[in-house]
A and B are shown apart, each in its own frame.
Chain A
């Protein structure tokens, strides 16, 4: 490679030329490598741009036909009917119900796991429980959905026979299943937050004679609160975007506005997923609804994620 070196090493007794500090090669390879690596990183920006473009173009088309006021205020969602109606509320409510039930499950269980793992578990127990939770996180959503539909819903009907169950679908059970799905996420993010609370804070509290319960609930938890909130926000975002579980367990459901957890209710994601499986022609208004609902979904999750990122960053600034 380097011309100067060949002379130095091969020529025994040969005069050694002064070695210059100037480049022995133009190092074009380095620049090519750097440019291609940068291109890989820029790709992510292009993906986001592509998402926005692919969502917005048909959405704009959609709102030329349908007034945005009707979309956001009307309470009937029947885009494929002979007399279509485009009020998005029924499926938004479906999504919110899933989020509600998911959080009822995921917040207590997820936080219990996090507190246990970060404050109480021995190294060995932690070494077992944490990977198991990671495996739970890796369970495909189709599996969770089928489990909810074929096992949890019949089980719920047996345990709570007095509720007005109708048909095989239930948005409440779907929400519970989504909750199980996001437990590992909520747990791992809050576990990280609590573990990065400096040991000095804990020791200070112990030195004042506080017991473990007090230290955990009055010192560690408040100190980690923004990380814990970030975990819940991230979990919410996941629950909003979850598709397969609700598609299977809450069904294509009834697009009427309803708050009954024992009924099958359509969510935004289930609408998109269910609509796409049917054969719909490109360029029709029904096709465009997929994108309009997708845009709404994207905006909701994006704002959640931005909030979570900000919370985590603030937490890091305080303790790291």
Chain B
């Protein structure tokens, strides 16, 4: 570039910059003062939105506490239900039912969910149509309403091909299928986060693919997988709708069993108490909500802590 050309160029640049500035100002910005005011108003609106969400959350907890407090005692956990005397009624069979149903859910979702995730991430050739079909399928299953899983449970598990009857095992199976996509998606994400250099390092040492997966990839992905499983379990504990269809509405005044006899679970029992006309049953329901919320808060907090604790930047 010559000396003579230089001033011409700067002049051109100046003009271009001025032009661009004028254009962008008309698009992106106007006067300084109104911009600042708009900014403040906008932030205030955002904070209002966030505040509403947080207030709603605390309101539910506070409401459950204030309403349910009169009946909060260990009797609540150990007493059997009653249709006549809400003061002496409790959640014992429902809590046991939840424990049974959830144990079944965990036993099913951990191998199935992690297995499917490992297959899709480590073995499947993503360019093949059948593997893409499986992926799309799982994504879609994650969005199927829970009540539809209830219909599936009713037609396929309680009756139909599996015919378990209205028992806790049917509830387990139904809920397991419901939360399985969540577990698969979370596990896939955790497995994908393990860098491929780890896999290559292991394979280059003469480890087989399964040795690589089971001894390197899965241990490294464990916190993420665990978080996914815990969140899925939390969802299963709070879920009521599909269980309405697979028998959890039975009024049980005895300790349930897994493969026979009626059962109920905590959220469904709460729903049933809430539907009774007497005022005291409302208190009982609120007390049940409080118990449920406490359990779920502890579980969710554990999952969030776990994820935070083991969050690793590779």
Q: Which residue of A lies closest to B32 (CB)?
A: A211
Whether A282 touches B231, Cβ cut-off 8 Å, given contacts A44-B180, A55-B151, A116-B50, is no
Quick one: which of A34-50 are within 8 Å of B by CB? 34, 36-45, 47-48, 50
Does A244 lie at the interface of the complex (its beta carbon under 8 Å from any beta carbon of B)?
Answer: yes
Does B234 lie at the interface of the complex (its beta carbon under 8 Å from any beta carbon of A)?
Answer: yes
- For B304, what are the chain A residues with a Cβ–Cβ distance below 8 Å? 131, 134-135
- For A156, what are the chain B residues with a Cβ–Cβ distance below 8 Å? none
Cα distance, A116 to B53, chains bound together (Å): 12
Whether A244 touches B271, Cβ cut-off 8 Å, given contacts A37-B119, A44-B137, A282-B159, is yes
Stretch at the interface among B4-12, B83-91, B195-203, B286-294: B286-294
Stretch at the interface among B39-47, B71-79, B252-260: B39-47
Please determine whether A138 and B60 come into contact, CB atoms closer than 8 angstroms.
no
Distance in angstroms from B230 CB to nearest chain A CB is 10
Most chain B Cβ neighbours within 10 Å, of A27, A48, A184:
A48
Quick one: which of A18-70 are within 8 Å of B by CB? 27, 29-30, 33-34, 36-45, 47-48, 50-51, 53-55, 57-58
Cα distance, A308 to B181, chains bound together (Å): 16
Please determine whether A209 and B116 come into contact, CB atoms closer than 8 angstroms.
no
Q: Which residue of A lies closest to B36 (CB)?
A: A211
Does B261 lie at the interface of the complex (its beta carbon under 8 Å from any beta carbon of A)?
Answer: no
- For B57, what are the chain A residues with a Cβ–Cβ distance below 8 Å? 132, 135-136, 139
- For A108, what are the chain B residues with a Cβ–Cβ distance below 8 Å? 49
Distance in angstroms from B210 CB to nearest chain A CB is 5
- For A41, what are the chain B residues with a Cβ–Cβ distance below 8 Å? 115-116, 119-120, 124, 134
B side interface size, CB within 8 A: 98
Does B156 lie at the interface of the complex (its beta carbon under 8 Å from any beta carbon of A)?
Answer: yes
Please determine whether B119 and A54 come into contact, CB atoms closer than 8 angstroms.
no
- For A196, what are the chain B residues with a Cβ–Cβ distance below 8 Å? none
Does A259 lie at the interface of the complex (its beta carbon under 8 Å from any beta carbon of B)?
Answer: no
Distance in angstroms from A19 CB to nearest chain B CB is 11
Please determine whether A298 and B53 come into contact, CB atoms closer than 8 angstroms.
no
Cα distance, A309 to B119, chains bound together (Å): 21
Please determine whether B123 and A112 come into contact, CB atoms closer than 8 angstroms.
no
Does B194 lie at the interface of the complex (its beta carbon under 8 Å from any beta carbon of A)?
Answer: no
Q: Which residue of B lies closest to A237 (CB)?
A: B143
Name A113's contact: one of B28, B36, B50, B140 (CB within 8 Å): B50
Please determine whether A112 and B148 come into contact, CB atoms closer than 8 angstroms.
no
Does B48 lie at the interface of the complex (its beta carbon under 8 Å from any beta carbon of A)?
Answer: yes
Distance in angstroms from A290 CB to nearest chain B CB is 7
Please determine whether B116 and A243 come into contact, CB atoms closer than 8 angstroms.
no
Please determine whether B137 and A48 come into contact, CB atoms closer than 8 angstroms.
yes
Distance in angstroms from B131 CB to nearest chain A CB is 8
Quick one: which of A147-185 are within 8 Å of B by CB? 147, 149-151, 180, 183-184
Does A96 lie at the interface of the complex (its beta carbon under 8 Å from any beta carbon of B)?
Answer: no
Please determine whether A33 and B210 come into contact, CB atoms closer than 8 angstroms.
yes
Q: Chain A interface secondary structure, helix, strand, loop or mixed? A: helix
Please determine whether B35 and A269 come into contact, CB atoms closer than 8 angstroms.
no
Residue-wise, chain A 211-252 has the 8 Å CB interface mask toward B (1 for contact) of 111111111000000000000001001101111100110000
Quick one: which of A100-123 are within 8 Å of B by CB? 108-113, 115-117, 120
- For A37, what are the chain B residues with a Cβ–Cβ distance below 8 Å? 115-116, 118-119, 123
Cα distance, A55 to B54, chains bound together (Å): 39
Q: Which residue of B lies closest to A57 (CB)?
A: B155
Cα distance, A198 to B67, chains bound together (Å): 48
Does A79 lie at the interface of the complex (its beta carbon under 8 Å from any beta carbon of B)?
Answer: no
Cα distance, A140 to B235, chains bound together (Å): 7
A-B contact pairs, 22 of them (CB 8 A): A41-B124, A50-B152, A113-B50, A115-B46, A132-B57, A134-B300, A140-B238, A142-B289, A143-B270, A145-B271, A183-B53, A210-B28, A212-B39, A213-B39, A214-B28, A214-B29, A241-B148, A269-B145, A269-B147, A290-B151, A290-B154, A298-B148
Extra A-B contacts (11), CB below 8 Å, given A43-B112, A50-B156, A109-B52: A34-B119, A40-B111, A54-B160, A110-B49, A140-B240, A144-B60, A248-B274, A272-B151, A297-B145, A297-B147, A305-B143
* B interface residues with partner A (beta carbon < 8 Å): 20-21, 24-25, 27-29, 35-36, 38-39, 42-43, 45-50, 52-54, 56-57, 59-60, 63-64, 67, 111-113, 115-116, 118-120, 123-124, 133-134, 136-152, 154-156, 159-160, 177, 180-181, 184, 208-210, 231, 234-235, 237-241, 244-245, 249, 267-268, 270-271, 274, 282, 285-286, 289, 292-293, 296-297, 299-301, 304
> Can you list the 5 inter-chain pairs with the closest CB atoms, starting with the nearest?
A112-B49, A241-B145, A140-B238, A40-B115, A54-B155
* A interface residues with partner B (beta carbon < 8 Å): 27, 29-30, 33-34, 36-45, 47-48, 50-51, 53-55, 57-58, 108-113, 115-117, 120, 129, 131-136, 138-147, 149-151, 180, 183-184, 187, 205, 208-219, 234, 237-238, 240-244, 247-248, 269, 272-273, 276-277, 282, 290-291, 294, 297-298, 301-302, 304-306, 308-309
